[in-house]
Structure 1
Amino acid sequence: MRPLTNVMMLASILSAGAIFGFFYAWVCSTMWGLDTADPRVAIAAMQAMNASVRNLAFAPAFFGTPFILGLTALLLFTQGQRRSAAALLAAALVYVCFGLLLTMTINVPMNEALATVTVPDDAATAGPIWQTYSSRWQAFNLIRTIASGVALLLAAAGLLLLDRRARPA
């Protein structure tokens, strides 16, 4: 197997793992923590986190993952590694549809709408705003988390499916 193939396989698994871990952290800690906070604090904290997530550290995992998976699939296909290539292509498609596009069409617009909310002075007014936002946002975050986990598993499967005896083209 060529060194480029090794690097691309590892980059695919790393990038899929990074985005899965990012979404997973929201599932099992961040949102649960915000749900237990004063809703005024939760709204303000979520506004701050949403404003800060658009950065150069996050962008490669979020936007780069499907490209890395797709390029790896193409590389594997040119080497005759059809089963491995199919797993990586499936990983890219799952992430694009249920990770990236779902985020861009549902979670981001929800975040942008929350950004326009003036945090109410009283918790009784803030509570329904936060609960409506949080429950819907978490439902869609769970979908993108599961999809990103599936993409990670498919990338790992691509590694396991490599025919190490095959001679590269």
Structure 2
Amino acid sequence: MGLIAGFFYAYACSVMIGLTEVDDRTFITTMQWINATVRNGWFAASFFGALPLTALTVVLHLRRGARAVLPWAIAALFSYASAFAVTLGISVPLNETLAAAGPADAITDPAAVRAAYEDVWVNWNIVRTIASTVALACLARALMVHARLRGPAPVTPGKTEAMAYTSAGALRE
């Protein structure tokens, strides 16, 4: 979840801001190449993996003793599911439309192509950035609640734990 939230965040706070400064043809070419190359195993692992792993978190905490974790895990699942839906329902179709426009140097009105794409894509990317970041925060909270429920980890006495201080503050074993 952290990887995919960071991925969307990087676009929101750097990539798309940087691309506002380039001409229309450069913008179109760059986004077409990014969209074509983002479909790789590294991206797929985080984008497609976050949803079932979060769902697994929900399932594993359905037992009675872990119910306090459940609201946070469910909130994370729904939050990331919304980011996932925005990607598949809005971002990908926009990317496909941009790809179908053809090479940027052959487009007769690149300003119109960019205008139909950029603001919509950027705004929905902010939505999925927020949703995936909220999901990450919910999972972090679920982890804290889970740790609190389990109590402190058992300590195996070793030399350090077996040492004590005298009333004068000197270390003794």
Return closer, same or farther for 1:56/1:111 CA change in 2, 3 Å cut-off: same
Asked if 1:101 corresponds to 2:61, the answer is no
Match of 1:86 in 2: 71
CA displacement at 1:93 relative to structure 2: 1.5
Give unpaired runs (5+ residues) of structure 2. Answer: 153-173
- Alpha carbons 2:19, 2:27 under 8 Å: kept: yes
- Give the TM-score of the pair, scaled to structure 2: 0.80
Corresponding pairs, count = 150
Asked if 1:141 corresponds to 2:125, the answer is yes
Asked if 1:38 corresponds to 2:23, the answer is yes
Let me know the Cα RMSD of the aligned residues: 2.0
Higher-Rg member (1/2):
2
Match of 2:50 in 1: 65
- Give the TM-score of the pair, scaled to structure 1: 0.82
- Alpha carbons 1:99, 1:148 under 8 Å: kept: yes
Match of 2:37 in 1: 52
- Alpha carbons 2:29, 2:104 under 8 Å: kept: no
Asked if 1:113 corresponds to 2:107, the answer is no
- Alpha carbons 1:39, 1:123 under 8 Å: kept: no
Return closer, same or farther for 1:123/1:84 CA change in 2, 3 Å cut-off: same
CA displacement at 1:123 relative to structure 2: 9.6
Sequence identity (%): 39
- Give me the whole-angstrom Cα distance separating, in 2, the residues matched to 1:138 and 1:70: 28
